[in-house]
Structure 1
Amino acid sequence: MILRRVARPLLAATFVYGGINVLRNTQSHAKTAEPFLTDAFDKLEGVIPEQVPRDPATLVRIDAAVKIGAGLAFAAGKAPRLTSALLLGSLVPTTLAAHSFWTFQDPADKKKHQIQFLKNAGLAGGLMLAVADTAGKPSVGWRARRAAKDAGHGVEKLGRKAEKRAKKLAKKAEKALPN
């Protein structure tokens, strides 16, 4: 559908551009993300495996790579439900790290970050729609329910056939027995 061919690249453009911007200015983004990441790692101590990097610069580069890779794939219509879920998963911590407007005292800063927070909330809404969009095909849940229903009908049919066959065999056996 033409709507998807236009909407996906428009939605993805923000993420691709943002990811490229992060790679160009990794240190400033890492500095912004560091308090959020430190707090998150402190709260999740013992839950997150040791192999997960803790360095803010590395984490923002990984986030940028996800935004660029998933954004380009989403724009091209490749695995759109998966890539939109990846973008959504990337957007939430980025928004909380960079635009927690409630922590700002200066009214101008607070307003600027509140606008960015709400813009990201709108992007999240669009991504949620994309995650749920089956492009007119039945969802996995519907297909599973349909398969279970069809299997149930098949079992019922086999049961009726078996019952008929058992009755025929019982009649045959009755006839074969001496009186």
Structure 2
Amino acid sequence: MILRRVARPMLAGIFIWGGVQALRSPEAHAEAAKPMLDQLRGTAGDKIPDSVPTDAVTLVKIDGAVKVVAGLLFATNRLPRLASLALSGSLVPTTLAAHQFWAEKDPAQRTQQLIHFLKNAGLLGGLLLATADTEGKPSLGWRAKRAGKQLKSQAHDLGEWAQDTGETVGEAVTAAPHKARKALSGLTSR
């Protein structure tokens, strides 16, 4: 659909740009993230595995790379649901770290941070819609449920067939392909 081809790059643009900016100057972005990271380190303490980076600059670089890669994937319609999910996951900590309007004392700064917070909340809403967008195709859950119902119906039919012929289910399963070919050949020979 043309709407998706236009809307996805428009939505992805801000993430790609933000990711590039974070990769160009991670130190500046790390300063904004430090208070939240310090708070998380204090709360989580020793529960954070040693393999998880806790350095603010490294985390900003990882976040920037995620935004660039996922943004490009989303903009070019490659793995759009996964890309929008990754962008959503990247947006939440960025918003919480950079736009803490509730902590601002100055009314003008509080208003600016609230505007940015709400803008990001709107972007998150768009990304969540994109994550759920199956482009008109049935979801995996629906397809799995339908396949389960079909399998149950076929098993029931096979059980009835076995009961009607006096065979065991195992014998019916073994004989089914032969009987199906015989039935089909009877239809085509008419």
Q: TM-score, normalised by structure 1?
A: 0.91
Give, in angstroms, the shift of residue 5 of structure 1: 0.4
Describe how 1:18-167 pairs up with structure 2 within 5 A. Answer: 18-166=18-166
Corresponding residue SS for 1:44: helix
In structure 2, what residue type is equivalent to 1:3?
A: L
Specify the alignment match of 2:11 in structure 1. Answer: 11
Partners in 1 of 2:84 and 2:40 — Cα distance? 24
- Structure 1 gap ranges (5+): 168-179
Partners in 1 of 2:45 and 2:140 — Cα distance? 36
Structure 1 runs (4+) deviating above 6 angstroms are none
Superposed CA deviations along residues 96-151 of structure 1, whole A, max 9, x for unmatched, are 00001001000011000000000000000000000000111110000011001101
Superposed CA deviations along residues 66-104 of structure 1, whole A, max 9, x for unmatched, are 000000010000100100000000000000000010010
Partners in 2 of 1:23 and 1:101 — Cα distance? 25
Give, in angstroms, the shift of residue 42 of structure 1: 2.3
Q: Higher mean Cα deviation, 158-167 or 122-131? A: 158-167
Corresponding residue SS for 1:135: coil
In structure 1, what residue type is equivalent to 2:67?
A: K
Q: Higher mean Cα deviation, 137-146 or 39-48? A: 39-48
Superposed CA deviations along residues 5-63 of structure 1, whole A, max 9, x for unmatched, are 00100000010011111122211110110010111122223433111111100100100
Corresponding residue SS for 1:73: helix
Partners in 1 of 2:95 and 2:9 — Cα distance? 21
Corresponding residue SS for 2:45: coil
In structure 2, what residue type is equivalent to 1:146?
A: R
Identity over the aligned pairs, expressed in percent? 54
Corresponding residue SS for 1:57: helix
Say what the alpha-carbon RMSD is for the aligned residues.
1.0
Specify the alignment match of 2:181 in structure 1. Answer: none
